[in-house]
Chains A and B, each alone.
Chain A
Amino acid sequence: MSMIRSAIREISLNLHSKPGARFITLLMVALAFIVFDTFLIISWNLQGIMDQEENLVGMEVFLERHVSTAQGRLIGDNISIMQDVKSVYFVSSQEAEALFRAELPGRAGLLDVMGSDFTLPASLQIVFQAEAINQGRISELSRQIGAMAGVDNTVYGEDYLPGLIKTVTTIRRLVLLLGIVLVSSISLVVFYTVRLSVVRRSLTVDIMRIVGAPWWFIRIPFVVEGIFMGVTGSAGGLAMAAVISKVLSSAVTHRFMPMWWMILVILLGAVTGVVGALAGSYEKER
């Protein structure tokens, strides 16, 4: 019990020593995290834009004129249970006409010219699961749906879909690559900063080991310090990034990163802080 009390005392003494040096270390960690946080905010917003674009990728299925509303809904039900189909919305003939008049008011006269017997065909608007959005899969779905009874033809963005898919895939790969580079860099920055801070107190480690302190007793103050510096530094970086984001929000519309990303950032700080502190104290082991 007194050993644990002594260890807690050591932790407290360690955290209270050299406040100036600790502040500089924290500032270094926080600054490194601001760069990372900025990248995360940009990625998060880019992700939102790409999701929006992908949600626009869908298919319009025009039904044959003789297909009744009930039959149309039945075809819709059959399509909705197909793999990779997220949702199906039935647009009746009357709804199609209303939409036409609302969206193209300048051309509404065309419908009147066609006469009262003319009706726009009913259709089905299909949205796909995000993971199904690739040229091959959508072509296949178009072929399957087009072959169904009552379906006149199918329309999807054959002309822009390959370009969109390529762009989105390339951006995602770049973001991932940049993310890996940044996580590695920030881990190294925090690792070396904390390690340096521990090595700076190598006299304490030396004295502890010559007086016979067990290894856990020597390390635990540094591990706690590593966690403290990692968590405080990353949280500080997040706070500063939030302030910058707020200041820039009127000029550039964007969202801050979600809560679970923030938790991961703080965890990254804690883990790299602990690893740095352990590495610093291991160097003085024997």
Chain B
Amino acid sequence: MLVTMENVRLSYGRWPALDKIDVEIKQGEFLVISGPSGAGKTTLLRLIWMGDIPDSGIVEVTGFRSDRIRKRELPKLRRKIGIVFQDFRLLHSRTIFDNVALPLQVTGTGKRVIQKRVISLLARMGLSHRRNAFPHELSGGEQQRVAIARAMVAHPVILLADEPTGNLDPEVSREVVELLLEINRGGTTVVMATHDPRQVPAGKGRFLFLEKGVLRGADRWTELDEES
């Protein structure tokens, strides 16, 4: 198992954000975590990249356990994970090339390797011609593709996408989801949090539904679909 969560509970102050969470994520899986705003989707992703540590229960990600991990080991874990956010989180004072190259620069990768990998990835994302542009010069869809490129440049074993289409129009959203599915077909595990699970075609992934911090079962999205 790539990720295991056992009876996980996490509260922010008196407010329980997640409770009794048991999840296993296999290598190569495409997992969709859906649920309304405030259901705990982002918190669940934060537990995977250990931005938060559970109050009780254990999260294990690629061999790193939440109850044993030391502060200095967190960067090692995060190098195995790529993260994409709804608001892209690009550095606006840096070019597209530098934004994508960042995960390699911070780990001391050689200049030639960085050059080769970033250029090839930007070509794959259809962004070669924008590599010297700055984020504010790009459309929302392009910025999200840059964010995905940054998340993928260090060859992570798992890609976390937190509402990656939240700021995009439906057409661009479809393109982004297709890009995530393509990444998953390449062997990378993808975990996508979204309030609208219908963005991912049925049969393309496993679906989990979160409500008020509790997992409500895999088929809830289908019920919602039927209700609507």
Contact = CB atoms under 8 A, between A and B. Distances in A.
Contacts of A212: 75-79, 81, 103, 106-107, 154
A52 interface: no
B71 interface: yes
Contacts of A204: 91
Contacts of A2: 108-111
A253 B52 CA distance: 62
Contacts of B81: 212
Interface string B67-83: 00001101111110101
Interface string B52-93: 110000000000000000011011111101010000011101
B3 interface: no
Given A207-B89, A213-B106, A215-B71, A13 B94 contact: yes
Interface in A168-224: 203-204, 206-215, 217
A215 B102 contact: no
Nearest to A203: B89
B78 A209 contact: yes
Interface in B92-107: 93-94, 102-103, 105-107
A6 to B, nearest CB: 4
B115 to A, nearest CB: 12
A37 to B, nearest CB: 34
A166 interface: no
Given A17-B93, A210-B49, A286-B51, A215 B108 contact: no
A9 B105 CA distance: 10
Interface string A269-286: 000000000000000011
Most buried by A among B77, B78, B90, B102: B102
Chain B contact-residue range equals 20 to 34
A192 B123 CA distance: 44
Contacts of A214: 72, 75, 106
- Which secondary structure dominates where chain A touches chain B? helix
Contacts of A6: 105-106, 108
A13 B78 contact: no
Residue from A1, A203, A204, A210 whose CB has the most chain B CB atoms within 10 Å: A210
A3 interface: yes
Contacts of A213: 75, 106-107
B187 to A, nearest CB: 20
B75 A215 contact: yes
Interface in B134-182: 150, 154
Given A209-B78, A210-B83, A217 B106 contact: yes
Given A9-B105, A212-B103, A207 B75 contact: no
Contacts of B78: 209-212
Nearest to A213: B106
A10 B51 CA distance: 23
Contacts of B102: 207-208, 211
Given A2-B108, A209-B78, A211-B78, 6 more contacts: A207-B102, A208-B106, A209-B74, A210-B49, A212-B106, A213-B75
26 contacts: A2-B108, A3-B107, A3-B108, A6-B105, A13-B93, A13-B94, A203-B91, A207-B89, A207-B102, A208-B106, A209-B75, A210-B83, A211-B78, A211-B102, A211-B150, A211-B154, A212-B75, A212-B76, A212-B81, A212-B106, A212-B107, A213-B75, A213-B107, A214-B75, A215-B71, A286-B53
Closest 10 CB pairs of A and B: A3-B108, A212-B79, A213-B106, A212-B78, A211-B103, A6-B105, A212-B75, A2-B108, A214-B75, A210-B83
